[in-house]
């Protein structure tokens, strides 16, 4: 069994390292790199999604004596410095054969805020909406044939914005000059590379775009999480101070379970600290520090796995009503290892893949295994808790029963709140198809951290080291049920002074039809008499 577990652990580590190696070469956070990406055919257009992020407008300095024109100039200057989208060395290549056959052609770059999505595309006679201008629309004078159809926004003047990279003659390379788009309005901004010529097959795009918020390079949806992780780091420090104070004060009474809780608190402190420094570095440079990200993900996954395994074995009564898990040990290890693998891969894909505020549906493939394994933990935990509570009730171990009841209530409340929040999360995402509520999206992952921390606080309070910690340990004298312990001791009849025959055995009759049955403390008193 040990050899099999060691081999499984090595295989698990190899899989995680392989996934990390593949993803570390992925997206660069707010720096969107384009290399080896292909265009998709959508209607009469060929489209490449180049990025989608929430951007905040910088605060506009105002002056009582400033004119409206001065305010506009100041706003534009501040936007260039603080919030912008920048094109950096965008190069588009086409095959030489296609260049000779096609001649002059162009690729257009469309940038728009999500509220202006209805300004994109059009139709000649109320038919299917087209993105590229058709001959019918060109005859109506609505657009130029072969170009992207868009109308100026009435709400956001100057938007959408369209840029063109042209192939001159048979030139195989088209370049887009470096330029900066200032952001003066908070919103979800989208960028698409579009061409309308079917002969431009096999285009290759190289370069990058850089998206920046006023406070740094963190995408708008992620920016509030930086301060959140800073607060959570302080919260874990406060919990750690309380726990380690109790631990050092009653170190002679510490149980193995309390050592496990110490490990979870330590992992939580490391995880929150790493996430804070990861977000701070990301915000400063615009490039995600993949080493810090990998360890933050790994520490978080280890913490969640260890926490679930600890809750499961405590629910089984390990160290309280039974000295070991017996044959269940391998099953617990297998469930924990599988959960670690599935969660680690999901988190690495989410955090080391290309950062994009428009989530991909393909990632649902990785979410389902984690959800199923989480459900397996919950079901197993509550089945085990029910059995443990029955045993403690039968043995009348009131101190242990009381703490297990409180533990059960805390878990039940956590599960109910989790189910409710999952329902809200589904509602939130299903009703926000275009990510228009991106400014509040950070609350969803933040809530899960707060919920798990709250449960950890409750467990730390219930199982805190104290001078009475040993009363919750497994006691060998409680190993048998009451009926078994009585049936193992069958003393013979005891003759009394009055000639009565007394017996504690149920199948031994007294001489004068009197049977005396002893229970617990009374049994010891009868023996002394």
- Average pLDDT per 10 consecutive residues for the chain, totaling 529 residues: 45 42 44 86 91 89 50 48 88 81 85 93 77 85 87 90 89 90 94 91 90 92 95 97 93 86 96 96 90 95 96 87 81 95 92 58 78 95 94 84 92 96 92 91 95 96 81 56 38 45 41 39 38
- Using alpha carbons only, what angle is made at residue 187 by residues 184 and 192, rounded to the nearest 5 degrees? 100
* Residue 113 and residue 434 in contact, taking contact as beta carbons nearer than 8 Å: no
- Single out the residue in 177, 196, 212 at which a domain terminates: 212
Q: Residues 292, 366: one domain?
A: yes
Whether 98 is covered by a domain: the verdict is: yes
CA 212 remoteness from chain centre: 24
How many whole angstroms separate alpha carbon 289 and alpha carbon 277?
A: 9
Whether 498 is covered by a domain: the verdict is: no
Q: Residues 371, 299: one domain?
A: yes
Q: Residues 134, 267: one domain?
A: no
How many whole angstroms separate alpha carbon 295 and alpha carbon 288?
A: 13
* pLDDT at residue 112, as a whole number: 96
Token output for 367: 């979410």
Q: Residues 226, 187: one domain?
A: no
CATH number of the structural domain spanning residue 384? 1.20.1070
- Single out the residue in 186, 212, 238 at which a domain terminates: 212
How many whole angstroms separate alpha carbon 214 and alpha carbon 58?
A: 5
Token output for 176: 């887009």
Q: Residues 264, 167: one domain?
A: no
Q: Residues 202, 107: one domain?
A: yes
Whether 387 is covered by a domain: the verdict is: yes
CATH number of the structural domain spanning residue 107? 2.60.120
How many whole angstroms separate alpha carbon 529 and alpha carbon 527?
A: 5
pTM of the model: 0.79
Token output for 387: 């059995």
CA atoms within 13 A on the CB side of 394: 14
Token output for 377: 């933990």
Q: Residues 153, 224: one domain?
A: no
Nearest to 50 by CA among 151, 176, 172, 146: 176
How many whole angstroms separate alpha carbon 235 and alpha carbon 241?
A: 10
- Single out the residue in 181, 212, 243 at which a domain terminates: 212
Q: Residues 320, 465: one domain?
A: yes
Q: Residues 165, 142: one domain?
A: yes
* pLDDT at residue 277, as a whole number: 96
Whether 447 is covered by a domain: the verdict is: yes
* pLDDT at residue 355, as a whole number: 52
Q: Residues 197, 328: one domain?
A: no
Whether 526 is covered by a domain: the verdict is: no
Range of the domain at 341: 219-483
Whether 2 is covered by a domain: the verdict is: no
Q: Residues 416, 386: one domain?
A: yes
- Number of structural domains the chain divides into: 2
Whether 149 is covered by a domain: the verdict is: yes
Whether 514 is covered by a domain: the verdict is: no
Q: Residues 339, 321: one domain?
A: yes
């Amino acid at each position: 069994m040990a050899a099999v577990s060691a081999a499984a652990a090595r295989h698990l580590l190899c899989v995680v390292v392989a996934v990390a190696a593949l993803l570390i070469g992925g997206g660069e956070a707010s720096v969107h790199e384009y290399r080896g990406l292909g265009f998709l055919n959508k209607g009469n257009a060929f489209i490449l999604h180049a990025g989608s992020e929430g951007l905040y407008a910088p605060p506009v300095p105002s002056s009582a004596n400033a004119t409206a024109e001065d305010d506009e100039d100041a706003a534009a200057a501040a936007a260039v410095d603080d919030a912008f989208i920048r094109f950096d060395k965008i190069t588009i290549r086409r095959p030489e054969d296609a260049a000779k056959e096609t001649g002059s052609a162009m690729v257009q770059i469309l940038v728009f805020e999500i509220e202006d999505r209805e300004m994109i595309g059009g139709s000649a006679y109320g038919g299917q909406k087209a993105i590229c201008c058709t001959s019918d629309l060109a005859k109506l004078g609505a657009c130029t044939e072969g170009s992207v159809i868009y109308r100026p926004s009435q709400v956001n003047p100057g938007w959408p914005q369209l840029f063109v990279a042209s192939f001159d003659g048979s030139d195989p390379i088209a370049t887009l000059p470096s330029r900066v788009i200032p952001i003066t309005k908070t919103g979800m901004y989208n960028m698409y590379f579009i061409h309308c010529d079917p002969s431009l097959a096999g285009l290759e795009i190289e370069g990058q775009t850089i998206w920046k918020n006023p406070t740094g390079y963190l995408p708008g949806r992620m920016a509030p999480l930086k301060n959140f992780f800073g607060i959570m780091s302080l919260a874990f420090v406060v919990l750690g101070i309380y726990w380690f104070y109790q631990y050092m004060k009653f170190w002679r009474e510490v149980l193995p379970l309390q050592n496990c809780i110490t490990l979870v608190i330590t992992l939580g402190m490391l995880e929150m600290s790493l996430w804070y420094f990861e977000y701070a570095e990301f915000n400063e440079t615009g490039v995600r520090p993949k080493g810090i990200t990998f360890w933050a993900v790994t520490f978080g996954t280890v913490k969640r796995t260890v926490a679930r395994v600890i809750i499961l074995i405590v629910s089984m009564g390990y160290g309280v009503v039974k000295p070991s898990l017996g044959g269940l040990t391998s099953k617990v290890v297998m469930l924990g290892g599988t959960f670690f693998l599935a969660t680690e891969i999901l988190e690495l894909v989410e955090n080391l893949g290309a950062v994009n505020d428009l989530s991909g549906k393909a990632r649902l493939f990785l979410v389902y295994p984690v959800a199923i394994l989480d459900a397996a933990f919950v079901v197993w935990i509550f089945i085990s808790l029910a059995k443990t509570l029955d045993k403690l009730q039968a043995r009348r171990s009131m101190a242990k029963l009381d703490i297990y009841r409180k533990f059960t209530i805390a878990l039940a409340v956590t599960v109910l709140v989790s189910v409710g929040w999952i329902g809200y999360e589904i509602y939130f995402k299903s009703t926000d198809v275009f990510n228009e509520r991106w400014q509040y999206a950070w609350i969803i992952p933040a809530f899960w951290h707060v919920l798990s921390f709250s449960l950890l606080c409750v467990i730390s309070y219930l199982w805190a080291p104290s001078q009475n910690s040993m009363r919750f340990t497994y006691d060998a004298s409680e190993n048998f049920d009451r009926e078994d312990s009585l049936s193992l001791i069958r003393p013979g009849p005891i003759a009394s002074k009055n000639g009565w025959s007394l017996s504690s055995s149920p199948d031994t009759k007294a001489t004068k039809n009197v049977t005396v049955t002893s229970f617990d403390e009374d049994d010891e008193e009868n023996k002394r008499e």
